[in-house]
């Protein structure tokens, strides 16, 4: 959200106008390039933001620049650095080098910064010319947060000489501390188990903020890789920005993690959240979207009273890139130079041929049924599992594969879909199909657990009322990567029934059942039946809030990434031909129609077998293709 008025309070003598700038969830998007399509992406990434940072710094010299985490992972550039190049004693991580060049003052870490392992992460942080702080992910827990053995410094005091409204020097000490979702130790448990521990975000802040005040902090800024959720604190909450802001002594919150923009309309009506004023519990807060889409800006007017600086006015905004600075201009040059070598190496890597597909691979209709992009991933995972079982002489339960669409529109916009034409396959195509460095995991589950697994995934859909027209089919708060489809089964999803679980995985309607007619090889699945399901380390680490105790069901934990399994599968076969065969279908809903938005590229695939009846309604204002679904 861009405010139409400049910061209204002019600093007088004895007052300081302090500007806080923040990036979040950059996910290795430095260059304005889409590595999946191998095309330029103007107005995207840290290099593009450099021009806006320069403009905002020029407006006031009293400016600090922070990052709120998830910077080291997220695209093929991140994978290339981690696997083919890697930071070492004499080479700074390219993202850290770019941030050094832009002059960051401090940063914290996000959950995805841990994806490549602790040693890699610490090596990357060692190259930073700015402090990297993190208070609630620690090496060892003590009696209180203050007694923990830290992984990184919990906080830092930034002592800066600024100037007041009369131009006189003013010495301020800005305390910054970092927090991240405690679920990190579960989501990346396969590589972090026994090495780090996590504390609750709010508990940690309540302990460290008074300590920072005692150490001399005039102003305290929370670098918070956590989203905007419930107003009241609950232990271990993932999205804790609102109760964090309520902690006494916190002056400003720079949030992230959920890839949303704040101030903005998405959080309207939430308790403790003022979307127009840009505050959480009355404290100024910002969230800068994803991949460098926005820059968080907080302007503070500080007044010195009784020997202490206090905020007396504030203004928050999430500023997008104006067209004039979309390239970053001259300010981007040092950032581009910092990553030039790794960028060139990444391009060479992603262009390497792997194989060939006889059929197009797309994800536009993944929430409706057939999705060849997902089927290829499922086929690769099943082939790996069957080979694993054959080598072990295991002739046990039937094998299934769980897959979910990572690219299915949503916050990523109308181009956020896999859409790979029939023809040659390069590494970039396979990275497009599977983004994350998740390891393969095999779990042994019962038919009853399969049913709960599918019920949780079916929360993707809104409830559709019989006879009602043009109801939105998809719940926008449900992440598509939690819509697991179990290949090897067939089943029906009845969206006329309420969802058993809400978007966060909490039991919403105890007696509700949407998923029915679950069959394997044409035979109904009984509660006592057993299956081996190949999934990933994120899911077995608790990711997505599924009601199945995955961690206790793991029977195989091979040291291989899912994307490597996919790449090996395509390489061995050279030619693949995944069919758009439906695994599941929506149940009829008498007289009802629903609205389904997808990417405009979907129109090229309307002849896909197994789709429900679709009527093209044109494009939305956001650029999505809108269809009416007859149920």
CATH number at 330 reads 3.60.21.10
* 9 domain-assigned: no
Closest CA to 349 of 567, 90, 560: 567
Q: Check pLDDT > 50 for residue 1.
A: no
Give residue-wise pLDDT tens across range 389-406.
Answer: 888 887 789 999 999 999
**pLDDT, position 395:** 77
Look at residue 120 and tell me whether its pLDDT is greater than 70: yes
6 within a domain of the structure (yes/no):
no
What is the band of 5 on the pLDDT scale with cuts at 50, 70, 90?
very low
Query: Which of the listed residues 347, 373, 403 is the one where a domain comes to its end?
Result: 347
Torsion of CA 50, 51, 52, 55, to 10 degrees: 120
What mean pLDDT do residues 582-603 have?
95
pLDDT at 123 over 70: yes
pLDDT value of position 589: 94
Q: Are residues 552 and 528 in the same domain?
A: yes
Domain of 588, CATH number, reads 3.90.780.10
* 428 and 299 assigned to the same domain: no
pLDDT digits (tens, 9 = 90+) for 199-251: 999 999 999 999 999 999 999 999 999 999 999 999 999 999 999 999 999 99
**Mean pLDDT value across residues 38-61:** 92
Q: Are residues 365 and 281 in the same domain?
A: no
Verify that 445 and 551 share a domain, yes or no: yes
| 6 Cβ contact list (under 8 Å, min separation 6) | none
As given in the structure block, the two tokens for residue 15 are 């007052």
Q: Give the domain-ending residue among 319, 347, 375.
A: 347
* Statement to judge: residues 334 and 449 lie in one domain: no
d(CA 263, CA 286): 6
Of the candidate ranges 272-281, 357-366, 479-488, 571-580, the one whose mean pLDDT is the lowest:
571-580
**501 lies in which domain range?**
354-630
Residue 3 has pLDDT above 50, yes or no: no
In a domain, 216, yes or no: yes
pLDDT value of position 375: 96
Q: Are 488 and 398 in contact (CB under 8 A)?
A: yes
CA distance 207 to 467: 55
- For the segment 64-92, the average pLDDT, to the nearest whole number, is 86
Residue 251 to residue 300: CA distance in whole angstroms: 10
How large is the average pLDDT for residues 508-536? 96
- pLDDT, residue 10, reads 82
My answer on whether 303 and 391 are in the same domain is: no
* Whether 563 and 587 share a structural domain: yes
Distance CA 569, CA 387 (A): 12
- What pLDDT, on the 0 to 100 scale, is given for residue 73? 96
Q: Please state the domain count of the chain.
A: 2
At which of 328, 347, 366 does a domain end?
A: 347
């Amino acid at each position: 959200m861009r405010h139409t008025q400049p910061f209204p309070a002019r600093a007088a003598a004895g007052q300081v106008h302090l500007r806080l700038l923040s990036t979040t969830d950059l996910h290795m998007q430095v260059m304005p390039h889409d590595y999946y399509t191998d095309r330029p992406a103007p107005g995207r990434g840290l290099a593009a933001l450099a021009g806006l940072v320069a403009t905002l710094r020029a407006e006031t010299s009293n400016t600090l620049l922070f990052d709120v985490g998830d910077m080291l992972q997220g695209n093929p550039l991140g994978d290339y650095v981690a696997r083919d190049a890697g930071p070492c004693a004499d080479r700074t991580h390219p993202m850290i080098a770019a941030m050094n060049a832009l002059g960051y003052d401090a940063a914290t870490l996000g959950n995805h910064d841990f994806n490549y392992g602790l040693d890699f992460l610490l090596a990357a942080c060692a190259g930073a010319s700015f402090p990297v702080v993190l208070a609630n992910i620690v090496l060892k827990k003590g009696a209180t947060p203050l007694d923990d053995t830290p992984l990184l410094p919990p906080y830092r005091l930034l002592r800066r000489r600024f100037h007041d409204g009369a131009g006189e020097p003013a010495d301020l000490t800005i305390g910054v501390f970092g927090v991240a979702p405690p679920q990190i130790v579960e989501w990346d448990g396969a590589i972090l188990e026994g090495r780090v521990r996590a504390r609750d975000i709010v508990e940690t802040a309540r302990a460290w903020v008074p300590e920072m005040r005692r150490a001399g902090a005039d102003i305290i800024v929370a670098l918070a890789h956590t989203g905007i959720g419930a107003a009241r604190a609950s232990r271990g909450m993932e999205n804790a920005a609102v109760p964090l802001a309520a902690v006494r002594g916190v002056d400003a919150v720079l949030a992230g993690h959920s890839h949303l923009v704040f101030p903005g309309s998405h959080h309207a009506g939430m308790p403790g959240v003022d979307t127009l004023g840009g505050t959480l519990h009355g404290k100024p807060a910002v969230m800068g979207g994803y991949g460098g889409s926005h820059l968080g800006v907080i302007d503070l007017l500080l007044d010195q009273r009784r020997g202490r600086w206090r905020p007396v006015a504030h203004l928050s905004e999430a500023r997008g890139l104006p067209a004039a600075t979309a390239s970053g201009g001259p300010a981007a040059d040092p950032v581009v130079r910092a990553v030039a070598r790794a960028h060139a190496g990444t391009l060479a890597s992603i262009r390497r041929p792997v194989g060939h597909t006889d059929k197009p691979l797309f994800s536009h209709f993944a929430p409706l049924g057939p999705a060849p992009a997902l089927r290829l991933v499922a086929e690769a995972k099943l082939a790996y599992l069957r080979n694993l079982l054959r080598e072990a002489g295991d002739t046990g339960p039937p094998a299934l594969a769980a897959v979910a669409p990572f690219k299915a529109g949503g916050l990523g916009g109308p181009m956020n879909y896999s859409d790979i034409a029939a023809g040659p396959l390069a590494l970039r195509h396979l990275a497009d199909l599977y983004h994350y460095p998740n390891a393969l995991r095999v779990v042994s589950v019962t038919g009853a657990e399969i049913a709960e697994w599918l019920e949780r995934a079916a929360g993707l859909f809104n409830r559709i009322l019989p006879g009602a027209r043009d109801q939105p089919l998809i719940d926008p708060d449900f992440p598509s990567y939690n819509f697991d489809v179990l290949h090897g089964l067939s089943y029906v999803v009845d969206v006329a029934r309420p969802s058993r679980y809400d978007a966060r995985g909490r039991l919403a309607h105890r007696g509700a059942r949407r998923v029915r007619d679950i069959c394997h090889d044409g035979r109904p699945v009984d509660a006592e039946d057993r299956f081996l399901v190949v999934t990933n380390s994120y899911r077995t680490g608790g990711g997505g809030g599924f009601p199945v105790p995955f961690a206790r069901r793991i029977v195989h934990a091979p040291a291989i990434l899912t994307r490597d399994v996919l790449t090996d599968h395509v390489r061995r076969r050279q030619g693949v031909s995944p069919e758009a065969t439906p695994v599941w279908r929506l149940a009829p809903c008498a007289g009802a129609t629903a609205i389904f938005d997808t990417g405009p590229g979907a129109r090229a695939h309307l002849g896909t077998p197994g789709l429900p009846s679709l009527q093209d309604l044109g494009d939305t204002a956001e650029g999505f293709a809108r269809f009416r679904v007859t149920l």
